[in-house]
Amino acid sequence: MSGVPHARYTRFMAPKHPRVQVTVDPALAEAMAAIDAQPKSKSRLIRDLALRGAEVAEEDRKRREEARQTLLKIVRGEIEVDLDASREAWEERETMPCKQPPR
């Protein structure tokens, strides 16, 4: 082996960005396989999944805040609401077989 000994190289050449260790448990393995069962780089795939997950989480946060703002406008009377129609829609939603559970 030629060049700089490994111990010296890593001791003085810290990575530019911090690294993390990730355990590939069954849930993560399933998510990875759903995207690419044989990735060239597992680290890159995990990074891409994390970034996409962060985007989705931010989009969800924005949607919740927009919904909150809309409800506040309704409460303040800035948006008119037909309460009878709203009640009917809610009752219809409750009888739907594929209704989504609340978050």
In a domain, 3, yes or no: no
Task: Break the chain down into helix, strand, coil percent, rounded to 5.
Answer: 60, 0, 40
Three-state secondary-structure class, residue 5: coil
Residue-wise pLDDT for 45-102, tens only, equals 999 999 999 999 999 999 999 999 999 999 999 999 888 998 999 899 888 887 566 6
In a domain, 103, yes or no: no
Closest CA to 33 of 55, 20, 24: 24
Query: Considering its fold, how many domains does the chain have in total?
Result: 1
In a domain, 69, yes or no: yes
pTM (two decimals): 0.62
Residue-wise pLDDT for 2-16, tens only, equals 565 655 555 666 678
In a domain, 29, yes or no: yes
Which single residue is written with the structure tokens 């129609």? 85
Torsion of CA 83, 84, 90, 94, to 10 degrees: 150
> Which residue range(s) make up the domain with 69?
8-95
CA distances from 26 to 2, 32, 41, 56 (A): 40, 10, 18, 22
pLDDT (average), residues 32-57: 96
